[in-house]
């Protein structure tokens, strides 16, 4: 049995020692900033002699912000959905490396890029009201792809009593040619095709790389348990420019394993890919489909 890593706790305790007034003011500030509300009347009321009325006004606007936020979450296509994310490879299974075929000596390893994208995408889905389960939490070595899917299904059933609504396996391609680049999406069953198309179109639009299309076959995560799933190869990590762009990211601890933090680089390319996957998933969940097995 693989020992799972732990998600790095990023939830801050900020605000726990603040007074109700400070918290209300903080929410009010967020409301003003995010919604671009005209602040003239807020300032006028806060400067009134009737301070109590001004405070009530702040609390009212802060409460309105929370209500609007909750309504938005309920209207999100992610509401009530649980998505399984698979960061390909991990542990002793490096995946593609840069320079090409450099193995452990490589300065960029696909397993780390996959993990960086998955954690960035996870945050986006959760902020949109969805739930996320991970097949690979940290840098553990997982013996088989079926084990990954079985673990995802177990977690999804624990959360919702049903299988996952979709599974995305995040990978990055490799080639001996350090100038080669492109985007590909892989799926297996007919039920997977709408998800594959949505992810593919979003990645192509966002990354603007050569379109290597789709591959329909029994690859990796797409063959087990009949989950709606797709495997993405957003770009070639063996490409020199892609590797350098990844290396320009900021080091961030995303999980812990054996009591030690595990860090990956998160920068513009990782963020752009994660946003493209999020938008593709948003499109898929927003579009009524009638899945059927191949």
CATH assignment at residue 130: 3.40.630.40
**What mean pLDDT, rounded, does the chain reach?**
83
Mark 161-184 as b/e (b = at least 16 C-beta within 10 Å). eebbbbbbbbbbbbbeebeebbbb
Q: Is 139 inside any structural domain? A: yes
Which of 141, 145, 152 lies closest to 258 in space, CA to CA?
141
Residues 111-149: pLDDT tens digits? 999 999 999 999 999 999 999 999 999 999 997 888 999
Distance CA 209, CA 6 (A): 34
Given a cut of 80, whether residue 74 has pLDDT beyond it is no
- Is 153 found in the same domain as 103? yes
Q: What is the mean pLDDT of residues 35-49?
A: 51
pLDDT of residue 70: 52
Q: What is the mean pLDDT of residues 268-287?
A: 97
Distance CA 89, CA 172 (A): 10
Q: Which of 12, 47, 74 is the last residue of a domain?
A: 74
- Is 33 found in the same domain as 56? yes
Residues 244-266: pLDDT tens digits? 999 999 999 999 999 999 999 99
Given a cut of 60, whether residue 224 has pLDDT beyond it is yes
- Is 64 found in the same domain as 28? yes
- Is 260 found in the same domain as 207? yes
Distance CA 206, CA 190 (A): 25
Q: Is 230 inside any structural domain? A: yes
- Is 131 found in the same domain as 48? no
Backbone dihedral region of 169: left (phi > 0), alpha (psi from -120 to 50 degrees) or beta?
beta
- Is 69 found in the same domain as 121? no
- Is 127 found in the same domain as 69? no
- Is 257 found in the same domain as 123? yes
pLDDT of residue 184: 97
Distance CA 59, CA 176 (A): 60
Q: Is 14 inside any structural domain? A: no
The label of the residue with tokens 């390319």 reads: 269
pLDDT of residue 29: 55
- Is 265 found in the same domain as 142? yes
Given a cut of 80, whether residue 35 has pLDDT beyond it is no
pTM: 0.77
Q: Is 10 inside any structural domain? A: no
- Is 187 found in the same domain as 49? no
Q: Is 7 inside any structural domain? A: no
Instruction: With beta carbons less than 8 A apart as the criterion, state whether 263 and 254 touch.
Output: yes
Instruction: With beta carbons less than 8 A apart as the criterion, state whether 132 and 170 touch.
Output: no
Given a cut of 60, whether residue 273 has pLDDT beyond it is yes
Q: What is the mean pLDDT of residues 51-73?
A: 55
Structure-derived torsion over alpha carbons of residues 85, 276, 270, 217, reported in degrees to the nearest 10: 50
Which of 130, 134, 99 lies closest to 119 in space, CA to CA?
134
Residues 13-28: pLDDT tens digits? 443 344 444 544 555 5
Instruction: State the residue range of the domain holding 65.
Output: 20-74
Q: Which of 41, 59, 74 is the last residue of a domain?
A: 74
Q: Cβ–Cβ contacts within 10 Å for residue 131, how many?
A: 20
Q: What is the mean pLDDT of residues 224-238?
A: 92
Share of the chain above pLDDT 70, in %: 72
- Is 90 found in the same domain as 58? no
Q: Which of 51, 74, 97 is the last residue of a domain?
A: 74
Residues 79-114: pLDDT tens digits? 999 999 999 999 999 999 999 999 999 999 999 999
Distance CA 199, CA 284 (A): 8
């Amino acid at each position: 049995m693989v020992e799972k890593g732990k998600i790095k706790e990023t939830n801050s305790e900020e605000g726990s020692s603040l007074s109700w007034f400070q918290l209300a003011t903080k929410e009010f500030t967020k409301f003003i900033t995010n919604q671009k509300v005209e602040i003239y009347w807020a300032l006028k009321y806060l400067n009134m002699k009737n301070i109590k009325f001004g405070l009530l006004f702040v609390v009212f606007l802060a409460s309105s912000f929370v209500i609007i936020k909750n309504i938005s979450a309920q209207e999100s296509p992610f509401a009530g959905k649980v998505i399984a994310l698979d960061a390909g490879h991990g542990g002793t299974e490096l995946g593609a490396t840069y320079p090409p075929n450099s193995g452990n000596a490589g300065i960029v390893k696909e397993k780390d890029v996959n993990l960086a994208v998955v954690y960035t995408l996870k945050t986006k889905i959760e902020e949109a009201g969805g739930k996320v389960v991970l097949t690979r939490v940290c840098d553990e070595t997982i013996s088989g792809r079926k084990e990954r899917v079985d673990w995802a299904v177990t977690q999804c059933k624990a959360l919702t009593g049903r299988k996952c609504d979709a599974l995305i396996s995040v990978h990055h391609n490799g080639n001996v040619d350090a100038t080669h680049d492109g985007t590909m999406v892989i799926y297996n069953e007919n039920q997977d095709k709408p998800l594959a198309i949505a992810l593919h179109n979003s990645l192509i639009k966002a990354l603007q790389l050569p379109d290597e299309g789709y591959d329909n076959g029994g690859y990796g995560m797409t063959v087990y348990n009949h989950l709606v799933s797709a495997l993405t190869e957003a770009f070639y990590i063996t490409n020199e420019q892609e590797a350098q762009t990844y290396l320009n990211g900021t080091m961030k601890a995303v999980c812990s394993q054996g009591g030690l933090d595990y860090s990956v680089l998160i920068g513009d390319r990782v963020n752009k890919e994660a946003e493209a996957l999020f938008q593709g998933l948003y499109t898929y969940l927003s579009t009524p489909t009638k899945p059927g097995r191949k």
